[in-house]
Chains A and B, each alone.
Chain A
Amino acid sequence: MSRPTPLRDIHESLGATLTDFAGWLMPLRYGSESAEHNAVRERAGLFDLSHMGEIFVTGPQAGQALDYALVGHLSALAVGRARYTMIVNEQGGVLDDLIVYRLGDEEFMVVANASNYPMVAARLTERASGFDAAVEDRSDQYALIAVQGPKAQEILATLTDADLEGLKYYAGLPGTVAGAEALIARTGYTGEDGFELFVANADAAPLWHALTKAGEPYELLPAGLSSRDTLRLEAGMPLYGNELNSSLTPFDAGLGRVVKFDKPGDFVGRAALEPIKDVPPRRRLVGLVATGRRVPRHGYPVTKDGVVVGEVTSGAPSQTLGKPIAMAYVDTGIEEGLAVDIRGSQEAVDLVELPFYRRNK
């Protein structure tokens, strides 16, 4: 049985198509996923992301514990800021990609993917054992609601006195939203401006209703995982299990910048990653734009003159480009004459640099 979020009744009352995702019963879409996608690009969309994991690391050495456990330099993070980082294994393979928020001098919140957070919590506990720090998985206590899109700030501002204007991208602050205590973070996974609101489970439904009402004048739409996936794909953002997995290092994924070798002390994965930091990877992550209408999908081979030179990691029709797009690992140095083997037929694609879509700031 898939596990429901605290917003299940609302999703059902909205007529959502529910689907199992990483063991959770999640809304795939409420009506048309294209309409939801466009709402986020043009106005605003409302997402239930309560399946994500929230793991707290606290104590005098919480920062040092995270420096050892993750590839980033988290002890250097200012209170109120957030950082995109990764947890890798001893071989440097990516176990998950994470966002870490520093909530206080001795308090960090690690947000992990739904499919991975029990493992991340276990690894963090293991790796923090030599430090004066405690690791607690509080995922069961938190719901996460995101409001994303160019109108997100205007909508949220009607429900909170928090200084949204002053809140930078990748920053978070505690505040009250529609009467609920929340961590208000300016983060997201859509390529748009937006906020992620971490609240207690019991506050999730009232907050959803308040945001829905506040969003009415802006034609805010509830948006499901399907549009979330096409939005993040256009924005060139990796998805764990598609672009990232434990057989790839951060360098393989073109995300070597998140590995901070100059931080103090050792970290898990350093010995494996340091020798390869300047070695060009065999394949690189690129964008593909199909010239036809068939969609390259996860796992399809990328070919040149009939020879396999890569593999598609994610693909979908792009609302913004009006053509199918895909992310793929393609052999370094091959840029032209590419095709994707779509169920036996070689369909021409153009290679482009990521992202496909970048918002006007």
Chain B
Amino acid sequence: MSTIPDDLSYTKEHEWVAGLDDGLTVTVGITAYAAEALGDVVYVQLPEVGATVEAGDSIGEVESTKSVSEIYAPVSGEVVEVNQAVVDKPDLVNSEPYGEGWMFRVRLEGDPEDLLSAEEYTALTSGDN
């Protein structure tokens, strides 16, 4: 069972969101829980820089040996940066889901809604084990 960093926010779709404090730009990735469930990640498709996304939109995908999952925008705003390293080396999602395996950054438009605290996310995932 992976530990869940308590300084991040989460979605029910097993994404994490960092950097909400400054209220400007957030970094998004998928959780270690999700990476473990997927297995070895072999392909990551990320949104385009400059794309405007709405919270809940499907904006990319993560493919592992056995399955494929969509990446959803956890917040609304403009994609200002994507992590080319994770496209080139998808196994970063498995090895460093909260570090080098981050996926993209979004400049916020409006206040994010429906994000979970670490405590809430822990409760969500512990039910599956």
Contact = CB atoms under 8 A, between A and B. Distances in A.
Contact of B63 (A17, A226, A230, A295): A295
Contacts, number: 38
Given A17-B36, A17-B37, A294-B43, 20 more contacts: A28-B39, A28-B66, A29-B39, A32-B39, A32-B40, A33-B39, A33-B40, A33-B66, A226-B39, A226-B65, A226-B66, A295-B42, A295-B43, A295-B63, A295-B68, A297-B68, A316-B65, A317-B42, A317-B43, A343-B61
B36 A317 contact: no
B36 A230 contact: no
Given A29-B39, A32-B40, A295-B43, A317 B65 contact: yes
Interface SS majority for chain A = mixed
Interface size of B as a range: 10 to 19
16 contacts: A17-B36, A28-B39, A32-B39, A32-B40, A33-B39, A33-B40, A226-B39, A226-B66, A230-B65, A293-B43, A294-B63, A295-B42, A297-B68, A317-B42, A317-B65, A343-B61
Contacts of A29: 39
Contacts of A226: 39, 65-66
Interface residues of A, number: 17
Interface in B65-114: 65-66, 68, 94
Contact of A34 (B40, B63, B68): B40
Interface of B: 36-37, 39-40, 42-43, 45, 61, 63, 65-66, 68, 94
A12 to B, nearest CB: 12
A34 B42 CA distance: 10
A33 B42 CA distance: 12
Contacts of A229: 66
Nearest to B87: A293
10 smallest beta-carbon distances between A and B, as pairs:
A317-B42, A293-B43, A34-B40, A33-B65, A226-B66, A33-B39, A33-B40, A32-B40, A295-B63, A316-B65
A40 to B, nearest CB: 14
A34 B43 contact: no
A295 B43 CA distance: 9
A316 B40 contact: no
